[in-house]
A and B are shown apart, each in its own frame.
Chain A
């Protein structure tokens, strides 16, 4: 067996945005279907099910570090959970003599994380925090930057960071992902229903329309393959029914919540391993990978159960109230009423935008320890065979 096949058995990520270089044959539509999933997953490079059946070309099992906790309705308040988590991580950082690096995009989720620390860490200790950001972060929430970060906290430009084992020995690295999975999924995929006030109606009633909407060759006509909508909606729906969640997650919004919660969660938590690297040849120890998962701010049983419990509350009929709970938490600290009323979710920008490190040099897959493998002829051939054998 070639080394790539061995590596792929435990790969944490096979970036779907690199698959076009494989130039697969057109024997079946499924390779194209799989490649097209990247357009449903902005900023997400890998898709796998944490629960239930979901065949992929690679069939790599989900990592238990990111498992779904017991489906359970809880009554905890978001405020208490955010406060408690910040305190827990603060003590952990103090005890292990590490700094806390918060990747702040300026968006709602990462601002909530940063707010939790600013609120709960004594001012004299706030030098433990380093904000990882860029000009776009500042521009997304300029008043927050001006009042709470400028001349108060240490800032590092994210492009100057190279995520390595050593970095994670010195920092607990935090980010706002996968906030979308907790506070309400992004809207573009079901915008059609929001505009008609139908997004809280049963998905069972609108399955045909949901399929039809995914058929439109919107972003990348080249990868368009008729039947994609039918295939994708059926896959998610079958999984939702198989896991026994179809009677609880009943609306169109719930259906999309499930795509995030079950399929995007794992990579979403681990985005920095793909996006914050300057050198893909380095590796991370099993222990560091485990600690990273444990430290990932929202990757806790409680946050996940809170998201699962509050999905109905998070998305109301009026879509401007999207992510209201988390915005209220930030507002309580900043007292910025404009923010509470008008700040809306923006698509997450990839945390790494520079051309040098972007697509031409991205790995075609990562090994278990996040070493990036480039597209040599054997790695391409191996992935190509697997993708061409894929039968959906």
Chain B
């Protein structure tokens, strides 16, 4: 009863998710119930839960989360904001561009958006407000710019993609995300400038522009972090996990000895918080292993993919459909969760059209990045609106422009795959 089993699997999962079960539990329970009903051997439940996370490449995930959190708590964001303000000065839309650039730089240190977005929002929303930017706009802009963190290496989402699609290696994906990530950030600058000109944001607030050289001296330690992470990966000296660990020790050194902003108690707190944040993600990965085992043994994913392929017979149409699917899914869930749910179905589709796995991973991630700042369930937007003290509804009129602009960047990468593939090829991954 393959069809019946598949139906229970997908429907059970959807119902559990809808009634508010933790995503990990929804995946694990629907998988386990089907395994039990279809007599696939219940011992495979703990086995797959264990082997789902007992993978060396996955080790990079908790360590990059820790590294990102260390830089955040050490106060790197504030110092980079000061430097960026010193460089751009006070012009129309200048602070908006500063916010975008700072988010992108922080994305080069940590692998997930919400924490970066929160850090930048706390520093920048008050000063942007004094220069005339409405708070809902600032919150939206920072949420959108923070979403590039899942594209700009290191990226937790891309690590998970690589674990699920082993033919796309982590270094290749990291290199592949670089140009599209920058492109997505630049795409935000256009509507920011246009809106600033139209509404006259970016007036003098009477505060002094911070001096360039002192700001530079302060920020350089933070700015070196992406160089160390990417440089280590580029030379092939380190595995992604090792590069992450080097970043952790560097962040520790900067936080404790240079900025002196981290006490022993802070360090312990960072360890606890990053461990818990990683655990939440990895439990989903672990129990998604149970779900994937049930689905692939039954042939449910292949059947679903067949259905999709039979429904659409044209490559471009399929890409459009996948994009719409991912945009909607990205509005409801974070990127890692969407990968775990949809990749088993999309991998056969990718194989059918001979799409490059690195390119497809980047396009998927770009789509999901848009979802991170599009209401109703936008993870980044929830963090920044809380910091700004505005409602999510108020951000709607700004979010539309930023989302459309970033969507244009996605379309560019879809039409010109070399935007994602040139750098990994040039670096020889």
A and B form one complex: no
Binding site for A on B (CB under 8 A): none
